[in-house]
Amino acid sequence: MSATKSYRIASIPGDGIGPEVVSATIQVVEKLAKTLGTFDIEFDHIPWGTAYYKETGKYVSEDCLDTLRKYDAGLFGAVGAPDVPDHISLWGLLLALRGPLQLYANVRPVKTFPGTKCPLNTATKGIDWMLVRENSEGEYAGQGGRSHVGQPWEAATEVAIFTRHAIERIMRFAFETAQSRPRKLLTVVTKSNSMRNGLVLWDEIAASVAKDFPDVTWDKMLVDAMTVRMVGKPDSIDTIVGTNLHMDILSDLAAALAGSIGVAPSSNLDPTRKNPSLFEPVHGSAFDITGKGVANPVATFWSAAEMLIWLGEKDAAAKLMSCVENVCSAGILTPDLGGTSNTQGVVDAVCAEIEK
């Protein structure tokens, strides 16, 4: 076999355990590419993050969007450091890319993974959900301010912005996602009982986009009631779509209910493919375990598999995931999942599986 395709990936390890899980993943993906021989893949190191910020005063380079546009995709680790306020680091790097690159679909598959246990006794078969998060606006529009700072009458605002354009494109994406899955089931999360503007618009667009997908069964659910359903009737759920903040919350909850946030992947997609999409573990920089070599690399492996699917390498992704699942099933797990392996131990085991 000779390599037919070749991909260049921007590797942005970032902070905390980011470098550990990203380097683990690069080892595994390079082994996969070499073993399969069906594609070439190359990772370029991009040093953005808190160290870069301390040197340059910025989390990313001035030409960061152009830099990224040279790549087929990005693999991101984590951002955030104990000595920088979170809103500076996150808006400096992660949120500085999601919006400007119009990576409007944040996709988070959630399932009870080998090696994790669903903590719910209401889920008969474990959990297998697909979460779609609007990733470009809403509560993360980044607007608002503070007036009379420090005075007893100080007032601050957070302004959420919802546009028909952005809601329509994410709704369409969510219906397509639901349509592509066996159960063809979509729940649209809303809060239009208390949010009378943007969320009412959200509801209206759901109803109108739904007409184009007669084969998808859909319902609407208030975000608060949705948590009750996730806990009480997990089997009734398949694909979920919601706003930037609602799905931020529900996707963490979903990962916890499935068994562990330590394995949860996240894809920041530009479905128009004008810009490279970014793939990242849901977990953060986890400074408490940084440098100890015990970070769980599974979420980043899974993120890389999602990246391979996005690039068109479905078979390679399937192979990678089955190797990772075998290793986890065999109990080769990091301490967060109750195992005794370290990061490199998991990497070596997955590489060995790939070669089998």
Ligand X SMILES: CC(C)[C@H](C(=O)O)[C@@H](O)C(=O)O
Angle of helix 18-36 relative to helix 343-355, nearest 10 degrees? 10
Question: What x/- string results for residues 203 through 242 when contact with ligand X is judged by CB under 6 A?
Answer: ---------------------x------------------
Among 3, 51, 231, 330, binds its own copies (CB under 8 A): 231
Give the nearer residue to ligand X in terms of CB position, either 95 or 210: 95
Active-site residue, 40 included: no
DSSP letters spanning 13-30: EESTTHHHHHHHHHHHHH
Cβ atoms of residues 78 and 285 within 8 Å: yes
**d(C-alpha 327, C-alpha 7), whole Å:** 26
One-letter identity of residue 17: I
Among 248, 270, 336, 348, binds ligand X (CB under 6 A): 248
Question: Active site residue: 44, 86, 224, 235, which one?
Answer: 224
Among 36, 95, 210, 352, binds its own copies (CB under 8 A): 95
Site for its own copies in 137-166 (CB under 8 A): 139-140, 142, 144-146, 151-165
Question: Active site residue: 71, 140, 319, 348, which one?
Answer: 140
Active-site residue, 348 included: no
Look at phi and psi of residue 103 and say left if phi exceeds 0, alpha if psi is from -120 to 50, else beta: beta
Should residue 90 be labelled a site residue for ligand X when binding is judged by CB under 6 A? yes
Joined tokens for residue 284:
């953060």
Instruction: Show Cβ contacts of residue 38 under 8 Å, excluding neighbours closer than 6 positions.
Output: 1, 3, 4, 5, 313, 315, 316
**Piece of 12-20, 90-98, 152-160, 253-261 that binds ligand X (CB under 6 A):** 90-98
Q: Which does 56 bind (CB under 5 to 8 A by kind): its own copies, ligand X, none?
A: none
Active-site residue, 336 included: no
Joined tokens for residue 86:
């979170």
Site for ligand X in 278-307 (CB under 6 A): 282
Q: What are phi and psi of 107, to 5 degrees?
A: -115, 130
Active-site residue, 219 included: no
**d(C-alpha 269, C-alpha 349), whole Å:** 30
Should residue 318 be labelled a site residue for its own copies when binding is judged by CB under 8 A? no
Give the 3-state secondary structure of residue 197: coil
Give the nearer residue to ligand X in terms of CB position, either 76 or 173: 76
**Residue located via tokens 């009750």:** 228
Among 37, 100, 119, 338, binds its own copies (CB under 8 A): 119
Site for its own copies in 232-261 (CB under 8 A): 232, 245, 248-249, 251-253, 255-257, 261
**Residue located via tokens 């004008």:** 274
**Chain positions contacting ligand X, by CB under 6 A:** 90, 94-95, 193-194, 224, 248, 282
Residues with a known catalytic role: 140, 191, 224, 248, 252
